[in-house]
Amino acid sequence: HKTAFITTAGLYEWNVLAQGLKNSSPSFQRVMADIVSSCRQFALVYIDDIVVLSRSFEEHLEHIQQSLSILLKYNFQLNPAKCNIFHQHIDYLSHTISEFGVKPNNEKIQAIIKLREPSTLAEANKFLGAISWYQKFIPQFATVAAPFHRVTNLTKPN
């Protein structure tokens, strides 16, 4: 009902989720999270990506079966060319996930290391944004980032 529009030929409404609309991604994320909620213990969902994590091959087969059954139940289709199954480690949302846990993606860390020392407000904001993405891996992040926040907050009215 939120995407309906009127023409001289009548009222039209999308019968699929239109991409590009302001709330398409959050709406789809909510639907996916609800649908896959019974797999929450082993499945991560981010918009149209699902990562299934398992401790063994046998457990992974079971988890894949459960995930596919749910998607089939709700008439979701997968593109086989975009499916990666039975990997020991994956890069996902700028992180590397493996049996050893989650760590920052090495390429992204190297890109941050190669950033030159910020000399403008825009560069300070860019650097702060880059390191903030990995704050859970930086001990005492608030202390490390405080000097940047002092500089970037200078332009904000009190």
Q: How far apart are CA 30 and CA 45, in angstroms?
A: 10
Angle at CA of residue 102, ends 99 and 106, nearest 5°: 110
pTM, 2 dp: 0.69
Using a pLDDT cut of 90, give the percent of the chain over it. 53
As for how many domains the chain has, the answer is 2
Tokens of residue 28, six digits: 């789809």
In a domain, 98, yes or no: no
Which domain, by its residues, includes 133? Answer: 106-155
Q: Do 75 and 39 sit in the same domain of this protein? A: yes
Q: Do 120 and 63 sit in the same domain of this protein? A: no
In a domain, 94, yes or no: no
pLDDT for 155: 60
Q: Do 72 and 114 sit in the same domain of this protein? A: no
In a domain, 17, yes or no: yes
Q: What is the pLDDT of residues 96-115, one digit of tens each?
A: 999 888 999 999 999 988 98
Q: Do 76 and 119 sit in the same domain of this protein? A: no
Q: How far apart are CA 60 and CA 62, in angstroms?
A: 5
In a domain, 100, yes or no: no
